[in-house]
Every structure is written in C-alpha cells, then in structure tokens.
Amino acid sequence: MKYGAAIAMTKYFAKRSIEDSSFKHFEDTFEEGEISNVVWMDAKMIASYARFGDVVVFDTIFGTNKEKWAVGTFVGFNHLREIVVFGAALMCDQNIESFEWVFAKFLEAHGDKKPITIFTDQDPAIGAALKIQMYEEEKEFEDAFLFLMEKVNGESNTLDGESNTLDGDSNTMDGESSTWLKFIYKSKEKWAYCIMKDAHTLGIRSTQISESFNSKLKVYLNCKLDVCRFMEQFDRILEEIREKEITSEYDMRRKTSTLKSNMPIFRGVSNLYTTKVFELFQTEVELSVLAHIECLEGNSYTVGKSAFDNEATCKSRQVVWIRESQMVSCSCKKFERVGILCWHALKVLDREDIKVIPTRYILNRWARAAKNNTVVGVEGRRVIEDPMLDVRNRKADMVRMITPICDEAANNEEDTHFVRNEFLEFQRKYKEYKEKKKGGDGTLATEHALHLKKKNGGDRRSKRIPSCIEKNKRAKKARNKTISTSQDSLR
C-alpha cells in the first residue's frame, strides 16, 4: 500500500477507535514499513461473533478498490437467519502467510474463540492457513473445514438421494476437468450435503451467504475507489445490513408467532424461538403428525413416513429416547446440523407424552432473547455495540418531557408566548451553565475572564482590519464633515 493510502487508513482507524472503544484493527507491514494486510472489526462485529460465531463463512472478492487488494469477509447467520458480519480484511496477495496472519488476528480480536464450522472456497492456501492457525488437530480440522460449492452443492446436492455414493463415472472426462472431478469426489465429505450429517452447518448450503453479501459489495464498491472512499462505502454496506436487522428485530418483537395448531408443544416454544425458526419448527411438527412409529427393543424407535403419505419416499430413522436424562437422539442428525429437533425425534417425544421440549434442545442462538446477554471483550470490558445509544436515549427522554408541554401550549396563543419566553430564559441559563463548566471554577472563573478582558482592552484582533479603500473613504468623509462644519460657522 502506498504511503498516502496507509496514512489515510491509519487516520480512519484512529477516528473509529475514538468513536468506538471496542474497535479493533491490525496492520501487517513489510520490512520497508509498507502495509501488506489489514484486519478490522467494530463492537457490533465482536458482539455478533460472540453470540452467533458457531458457523462462519469466509470468502474473498476482487475489484473493490484502487489498490487492487482482495477483500476478505467473515459472515454468518444471526438468530433471524439473516446475514451478520464478524470481521473484514484487506490483503495484498493470497498466499498462505497472508491468510495465516488474517486468521490469527481474527481469533485474537475474538478472544481465541474458534468457530465450530467454517466454510471457504477451494483455495488450498486457505485450507493450509486454517490448519495452522485455527485447527491444529487433524480431526478437529477435518470436522470444521467445509467447502463452498457454487453449482455442485445446489438442489441436486444429494447426488444419489440419501446414499453416501456418487453416481456417474469420474473417468469420462480427461485433462484438467478429470483431475478436478477426482479432487471433488475425494473431498465429497466437505461439500456433499447428504454426507455432511455430523457437520454443524445451521442449514447453510452452497454459497448463499457469501453470494448475497458479495452482491452488496459489488453494488457499492469498484476498482476506482481509494482507501478512504472504500472504507466509507464498506461502512455504508454494514449500515444497510444492520438497519435491516433492526427492522426485522422490531417486527419480531412487535408480532407474535402464528400458531398453525393449538398443540401444547407449539405454545411452549412460540415465545422462545424467533419467527423464522418457529416456522421451521412447525413444519417439523406437522411432519411428525403424519409419521409412522415402531417401538424396538429398549429405548429405541423406528420413525418413518406413513404409508398414507403420497410422498413417503424418505427412509426410516432410528431414534433413541432416554427418559431419565430427557435426552433424544436421531440418526438423521438434524439437531446437530441445524439446531432444531427433527420430526423423527418429535414423534418419539409425542409417543412418550412429552408436551414441553427439553431446554437443552432450544439453542440460545435461535431464541428471541439471543441478543439480551452482555458481551465482554478481550480486555474484560463490556462491549458497547452502539456507542451513540446512550446519547440517543437521553435525547429521547428530554424530548418526551418537552413534547407534552409544547402540544398543550400550542392550543393557546398566550400559553405559547409564555412557554417560548421560558424556553428562551432556560436557553440563556444553559449557556451560562456551560460557560461556568468550561471555566472549571464557577462564577469566579467567568468574572476573572471578564476582568482580564477589560484590563487588556479587549481583543483588538477580533475585528477585521479595514482595507486601503475603506480608509480613504473614511478620511474623505471626515474631511467633508470638517469643511461643512467650518462653512456653517462662517455663516
């Protein structure tokens, strides 16, 4: 990065650090002192990651700035199943060392909290960097690292239905295509939805999150933007996403979830889950009503679709229920993947006359109150997500106090005149209060300042120095006045 651009970015980060006490930024420099990589995140990103950072999507996009640097973004799902940003990075190149540094600083800012699952593209440099910085153990790395597939992992991602095999002959293609296809087949556990049964993905498929966020970036960013303009536009994108989140949060709190049935299990979770997640839960309950259940030995059950269901093509699943510990486990692993109980498990709970979902199966990340908890930063301080929130709240309190007075006084001209005069008097007193506060010594400080001003004859430089033309005009006017006075005296 050029010297001027680096100075502009440093000033921007300094300004944000003053506005936001939890704002974090890191710069990686060359031996010559030039910036090579940058990572930054504000208080909102830090708080969002603390609550919803179990699944992260990391992707890069080009053509967004004049420096031709790649922009790396860490995004995910919030409790409303909407996009939330966890951090951002600018990288001059995409080698292992750059990604390794970016991931290291990302974890450092978030207190070394690792995501359960991270989606990336098929760049081998990203995989190598993740293995070094985030997941040192091989098993942990293999479970957490998944691919973002643009076309393979679409609606046909089940490949051979629900089996664990791929149909087709991978040797029918030659050259690079055949090599790529063999690589994809070998790593099918990282992208094939039908095989990723144990992966905690929250239901994320393909590149739905990264593509949605990248489309917003492409609208506001282009290759002609300098660093300052890039940061301004990036903040505008974040503001747009957060305004949508606030609107959705307001709608969720203002409205109650619509119950499709009066079943007790619905009433128990309707006020706990967010609206979108509750809709998914209701769908699972509806499927459980049509399901067929068969009791096996011990605490095991076999649950499948009923023969009366025209779409009964899904294979049966085995469910284990332990009454003593209120634990239920299904072979489909939907709760482990998405975080809500599947219809197989719900059918068993209904069979066991369980009308209330055990609390362990209601994840806080899908709850309405998911953002009610306080987030503590790395330094041990409370993370204030909106630094201007207290200012707006105080302003709103004062407006609520003044508005009723104005509404009542506006009905009468005499009352309006009285209130206006009182406000003007209050404004004068408030200015005096501010002056005393600035002086730091009350009335004495103000009087002392006035005394010094009189003693020095005031500030002579406070007035504008007249020009030569103005001086000549004043002299001419004075001469004319003198002549007229002398003529009057002669008369």
Q: Are residues 270 and 240 in the same domain?
A: no
Amino acid at 138: E
| pLDDT for res 472 | 76
In a domain, 45, yes or no: yes
| Distance (Å, whole) CA 270 – CA 289 | 18
Q: How many domains does the chain have?
A: 3
| pLDDT for res 202 | 86
Which residue, chain included where needed, has tokens 């479970």?
143
CA 126 to chain centre: 23
Q: Is 216:234 a contact under the CB 8 Å cutoff?
A: no
Q: Are residues 114 and 238 in the same domain?
A: yes
The per-residue pLDDT for range 431-486, each reduced to its tens digit, is 999 888 876 544 434 333 333 334 444 444 445 667 667 777 777 777 777 666 65
In a domain, 419, yes or no: yes
| pLDDT for res 316 | 85
Non-local (6+) Cβ contacts of 98 within 8 A are 28, 36, 37, 91, 92
Q: Are residues 140 and 54 in the same domain?
A: yes
Q: Is 63:223 a contact under the CB 8 Å cutoff?
A: yes
| pLDDT for res 178 | 60
Which residue, chain included where needed, has tokens 């719900």?
346
Q: Are residues 450 and 422 in the same domain?
A: yes
Q: Is 195:142 a contact under the CB 8 Å cutoff?
A: no
Question: Taking the CA atoms of the chain, what radius of gyration do you get in angstroms?
Answer: 34
| pLDDT for res 365 | 93
Most confidently predicted of 86-90, 127-131, 211-215, 252-256: 86-90
Burial (0-12, 13-18, 19+ Cβ within 10 Å), 442:
exposed
Query: By C-alpha distance, which of 409, 417, 275, 294 is closest to 351?
Result: 294
Give the pairing of strands 145-147 and 117-120: parallel
Average of per-residue pLDDT values in the chain? 78
Query: By C-alpha distance, which of 119, 145, 141, 104 is closest to 56?
Result: 119
The per-residue pLDDT for range 222-272, each reduced to its tens digit, is 777 787 888 888 998 899 899 999 899 888 888 877 787 778 888 778 889
Angle between helix 227-254 and 208-220 (nearest 10)? 130
Q: Are residues 235 and 279 in the same domain?
A: no
Most confidently predicted of 44-48, 306-310, 480-484: 44-48
Q: Are residues 198 and 86 in the same domain?
A: yes
Q: What share of the chain is helix, strand, coil (3-state, %, to 5)?
A: 50, 15, 35
In a domain, 71, yes or no: yes
Residue 138 pLDDT > 80: no
Q: Is 37:90 a contact under the CB 8 Å cutoff?
A: yes
Tell me the two tokens of residue 330: 């299904």
CA 476 to chain centre: 71
Q: Where are the alpha helices (DSSP H) in 255-333?
A: 264-269, 275-289
In a domain, 339, yes or no: yes
Q: Is 102:56 a contact under the CB 8 Å cutoff?
A: no
The per-residue pLDDT for range 397-414, each reduced to its tens digit, is 888 899 999 999 999 999
Alpha carbon separation from 136 to 127, 141, 399 (Å, rounded):
12, 7, 55
| pLDDT for res 183 | 62
CA quadruple 14, 84, 107, 44: dihedral sign: positive
Determine the 3-state secondary structure of 421 from DSSP.
helix
Q: Where are the alpha helices (DSSP H) in 290-388?
A: 334-337, 343-351
| pLDDT for res 199 | 80
Alpha carbon separation from 289 to 273, 284, 309 (Å, rounded):
21, 9, 11
In a domain, 468, yes or no: no
| pLDDT for res 173 | 44
Tell me the two tokens of residue 25: 């930024």
In a domain, 369, yes or no: no
| Distance (Å, whole) CA 219 – CA 221 | 6
Tell me the two tokens of residue 277: 């997640």
Amino acid at 8: A
Question: Running DSSP on this structure, what letter comes out for residue 297?
Answer: S
Residue 362: Cβ within 10 Å count: 18
Q: Are residues 294 and 223 in the same domain?
A: no
- Mean per-residue pLDDT, 321-342: 91
Q: Is 449:439 a contact under the CB 8 Å cutoff?
A: yes
Residue 222: Cβ within 10 Å count: 15
| Distance (Å, whole) CA 185 – CA 168 | 11
Q: Are residues 410 and 346 in the same domain?
A: no
- Decide: pTM greater than 0.85: no
| pLDDT for res 172 | 44
Q: Which of 217, 248, 279 is the last residue of a domain?
A: 248
Alpha carbon separation from 264 to 45, 109, 267, 285, 350 (Å, rounded):
37, 44, 5, 11, 11
On the CB side of 329, CA atoms within 13 Å amount to 8
Q: Are residues 16 and 94 in the same domain?
A: yes
| Distance (Å, whole) CA 78 – CA 413 | 53
Q: Are residues 26 and 98 in the same domain?
A: yes
In a domain, 257, yes or no: no
Tell me the two tokens of residue 67: 């420096």
Q: Are residues 412 and 347 in the same domain?
A: no
In a domain, 340, yes or no: yes
Structural domain of 167: 3-248
CA quadruple 285, 287, 290, 292: dihedral sign: negative
When comparing pLDDT for 346 and 213, which is higher?
346
Q: Are residues 92 and 132 in the same domain?
A: yes
